[in-house]
Amino acid sequence: MEIFEKMAQYDYEQIVFCHDPSVNLKAIIVIHDTTLGAALGGCRMRMYPTEEDAIIDCLRLGRGMTYKAAAAGLSLGGGKAVIIADPKKDKSEEFWRSYGKFVNSLNGRYITAEDMGTSVEDMEIVLQETPFVTGVSKSHGGSGDPSLFTALGTVQGIKACVEEVFGSTSLEGKKIAVQGVGNVGYHLCKFLHKEGAKLIVSGHHQDRIDMVKKEFGAKVVGEYDIYSVDCDIFSPNAVGAIINDDTIPQLKCSIIAGAANNQLAETRHGDKIHEMGILYAPDYVINAGGLI
């Protein structure tokens, strides 16, 4: 990978590589654009197949945050952090304190927050080392877990799409295929069920899958079967780049609207689904509720 070539392609300002072998911390912080203000973006923690995959994900996510903040009318820029580690076993207080020190070293150019694989509790520890963190508990002046607000905004976006395609905002009886039932996906399923939607779900979190099946009567399908479900709406709420050359031919929906970041693997895929007559809600608009 040619790093500076990647940075020049979309005008990235800065990439920071953070390494603390004493706690096995390997983190990447991307600052995409600070024209409108400090770069705000969550900290994602997962076991990436390669370091290059982690860099590419962070670059894409950081750029998406710039668009999201601008579209929401906020005086913020876009950034992101990713940590190459297992969120189930690699966390410790020392680990998060070390990450907080790296964030603090940027002197406010980047503001971190929870994201996939991280939590409000993790950010509480980060807060002990830097003030440049958001999404902490209300007792510390924060807003808490943003997942609920992300899901709430996504529901409103889905209803707007449904009105455009079907002529009414009602979700009663609409078949919605929900990919991912993590923090955002679970709340989204709850809201959609309340609106009378019929849910088909897939995801990695078996405990959450069992919950949405029991609580909301959702039908469960395999991880790769979710794309070919005959539905009104396909709602991606997990990882990005899932609208691609392999999945597009499988789609049997009228609308794509979900909270996942960077849903299009490439910009041209937006044109491709448009040609198929599928209405796509840009992810950085529909999922901005948590940021707002």
Out of 80, 91, 159, 174, pick the active-site residue. 80
Cβ atoms of 87 and 100 within 8 Å: the answer is no
276 token code pair: 């198929």
Query: Is 80 assigned a catalytic role?
Result: yes
Give the residue from 27, 29, 39 showing the smallest Cα distance to 95: 27
d(CA 262, CA 243): 9
Neighbouring residues of 188: CB distance < 8 A, sequence distance ≥ 6: 151, 154, 155, 178, 235, 237, 258, 259
Handedness of CA 104, 109, 115, 117 (dihedral sign): negative
DSSP-H helix ranges across the chain: 3-9, 51-71, 93-104, 120-126, 147-166, 183-194, 206-216, 268-275, 283-286
d(CA 166, CA 273): 18
d(CA 6, CA 11): 9
Q: Which residues are known to be catalytic?
A: 80
